[in-house]
Amino acid sequence: MSENRSFEDNAYRSPLADYSGSKAPAGSVVRFDYETCDHRSGDGKRYKKSALVYLPAGFDENDRTVRYNVLYLMHGGSDSPEWYLGGEGKGSDITRMLDTMLAEGRCEPFIICAVSYYNEYCSDAAVNCLDFHLELTNDIIPLFEKKYPTFAEDTTDEALRASRFHRAMGGFSMGGVTTWSVFMNRLDLFGYFLPMCGDCWAVEVKGGGSQSEATAKLLADSVRENGFSAGDFYIYSGTADKDIAEPNLTPQIKAMSALTDTFVFCDNFAEGNLYECICENGYHDVHTVRRIMFNGMPKMFR
């Protein structure tokens, strides 16, 4: 893997039980509005949508000299960006944890754009997750990275590709499904991935468990077909021992690990590009997600 990056070990570390009393400077949560369309049908009808944005403490919208990494973050079924960030002008256990991690220097400076796969033109959640990369790359990223000072010099395809190691995609449950789809379809724009408690459904629904080897092969094929190799990305996945998604995600990760020409399971990303964090005594919920993010975020943008 890269000789120019350094990472802390992937081994699980337990976060504090409660960050509500954190004295770290607090970031802010704001709304980001944009328009999208049904890119599959091409009918041209526009729809208004919004995302929530976490801005770290000290962020100054007028200072374009400081650049920020970006995590695009997808929620799970029946939820919204508020599930992560609390809401516009608010906060959450996750934002308070991130405030603390940034203040302690455990993470490279970043902003979060929390998005939603729900839309007005399709009610099929699985289809929306698998196709969300179209909305993300056509409607969100160019507008978002023009508004905020990211590492992209501009929003041309060339500049966005050149800054891919300053951009990550992550998500919980159905958001994990979305993350794997983004990995398969737009690896040219992302260097880091944080799929949490969700497997890849490109072969079939819950195919990470039922079609582990076929799913792993399809993921590996997508890397090569897009002109990339093992040194071009990092995947920090996570689930919990009592998570309903664990029987689907873990077999997929094991099958991926067998394809060592593309996926290199490792204890430190200096030596590979794939890891699965298993939270003990955890379930399919926000507490597991918070623990995975606590462990996964320091591995990004190095």
Instruction: Indicate whether 2 belongs to any domain.
Output: no
272 part of a folded domain: yes
Burial of 239 by CB count in 10 Å (0-12 exposed, 13-18 middle, 19+ buried)? buried
Model-level pTM?
Answer: 0.97
pLDDT grade, residue 5 (50/70/90)? low
Neighbouring residues of 12: CB distance < 8 A, sequence distance ≥ 6 = 277, 278, 279, 280, 291, 295
Round to whole Å and give the CA distance between 229 and 239: 26
Average pLDDT rounded to a whole number, residues 276-293: 97
The answer to whether residue 17 sits within a structural domain is: no
CATH number of the domain to which 261 belongs: 3.40.50.1820
> Per the domain annotation, does 124 fall within a domain?
yes
CB 276 within 8 A of CB 224: no
| Domain membership flag for residue 47 | yes
pLDDT in tens, 223-274: 999 999 999 999 999 999 999 999 999 999 999 999 999 999 999 999 999 9
Does residue 206 lie in a domain region?
yes
66 domain residue, yes or no = yes
More confident residue, 5 or 81: 81
pLDDT digits (tens, 9 = 90+) for 129-186: 999 999 999 999 999 999 999 999 999 999 999 999 999 999 999 999 999 999 999 9
| Whether 167 contacts 189, CB under 8 Å | yes
pLDDT digits (tens, 9 = 90+) for 121-131: 999 999 999 99
What's phi and psi for 88, nearest 5 deg? Answer: -60, 130
**Residue 2 scores a pLDDT above 60:** no
Domain boundaries, position 196: 28-299
Residue 3 lies in a domain: no
Looking at the 3D structure of the chain, how many domains does it have? 1
Beta carbons of 199 and 245 less than 8 angstroms apart: yes
Looking at residue 58, what DSSP letter applies?
T
